[in-house]
Amino acid sequence: MATASTVELKIQRFDPERDNEPHWQTLTVPVEPMDRVLDVLTRAKELFDGSITFRRSCAHGVCGSDALLINGRNRLACKLRVEQLGKTITVAPLPGLPIVKDLVVDMDGFFEKYRSVQPYLVASPVEGSGERIQSGEQRDRFDDTTKCILCAACTTSCPSFWAEPEYVGPAAIVNAHRFIFDSRDENAEARLDILSDEDGVWRCRTTFNCVEACPRGINITKAILEVSYELRASSDHVR
Ligand code: SF4
Ligand code: F3S
Ligand code: FES
């Protein structure tokens, strides 16, 4: 392999069968000009230590499985080029979730919150052609929130979530928004009721960390505020 240089890769390691707490491992890893952090992690595993554990699948910013805390910010390892980071790269698991091993966190609670907002279309059968017609304007209403890849970078960067892990979190609200504002859906009231809970939208303090973390560029805070306005408009849900 023709390598251009090396980087110092600091990886947070934790093996629950051996370690009482996480520790850092530092490796000098050869890199190529177009490498992304995922490439460097993969090379470190291949060249130095096959036990380094992390999730990845698509390697192209689609599946959302390799969100990590990289040089202090939540980002996708497969979308971040090494040249954007300098000579030292620190990689740790997403904050605020239990560590399973090394860079892998337990996502069960995250997906439980996602499921709690009923993230699917609820609509009665359609007579005739079976099509549910929607105008471009109606589609635009929720276009931004269709882009979520469920990487959890937003929720795990949110101070309100760190302080109160029961907070449903920005990712779940984004996915509720996607259906609440879909003109074809008939279940907005139920989702708003769920999000009016004390651990729902009201826990957002408009900190904007989530917006900075989102690899899909979703305006998460705007979506949260739109859901909040919708809740206020329907006083039934304000507890
Ligand atoms: Fe990831 Fe953005 Fe979806 Fe949050 S809203 S889970 S940061 S893609
Ligand atoms: Fe958290 Fe984003 Fe609100 S970081 S406080 S969910 S604006
Ligand atoms: Fe799929 Fe990075 S590996 S988003």
Q: For residue 10, name the pLDDT band (cuts at 50, 70, 90).
A: very high
Nearest-ligand number for the alpha carbon of 213? 1
Residue with tokens 């554990």: 53
Point out the ligand 1 atom lying closest to the alpha carbon of residue 147.
Answer: 8
In this structure, what token pair is assigned to residue 116?
Answer: 């709690």
pTM: 0.94
Nearest-ligand number for the alpha carbon of 209? 2
Average pLDDT, the chain: 95
Spell out which residues line ligand 3, taking CB within 6 angstroms. Answer: 56-59, 61-66, 76, 78
Residue with tokens 């892998």: 104
Cβ 223 under 6 angstroms from ligand 1: no
Point out the ligand 1 atom lying closest to the alpha carbon of residue 220.
Answer: 5
Nearest-ligand number for the alpha carbon of 174? 1
pLDDT digit string, tens, across residues 220-231: 999 999 999 999
Distance of CA 55 from the midpoint of ligand 3 (Å): 8
- E strands along the chain, which residues? 5-13, 23-31, 67-70, 73-76, 88-92, 99-101, 104-105
Which of 67-76, 90-99, 129-138, 223-232 has the weakest average pLDDT? Answer: 129-138
In this structure, what token pair is assigned to residue 85?
Answer: 């980071």
- Return d(Cα 231, Cα 223) in angstroms, integer: 12
Spell out which residues line ligand 2, taking CB within 6 angstroms. Answer: 158, 160, 170, 204-210, 220-221, 224
pLDDT value at position 44? Answer: 98
Is pLDDT at 159 greater than 70 in this prediction? Answer: yes
| Segment 12-16 mean pLDDT | 97
CB 78 within 8 A of CB 60: yes
CB 11 within 8 A of CB 23: no
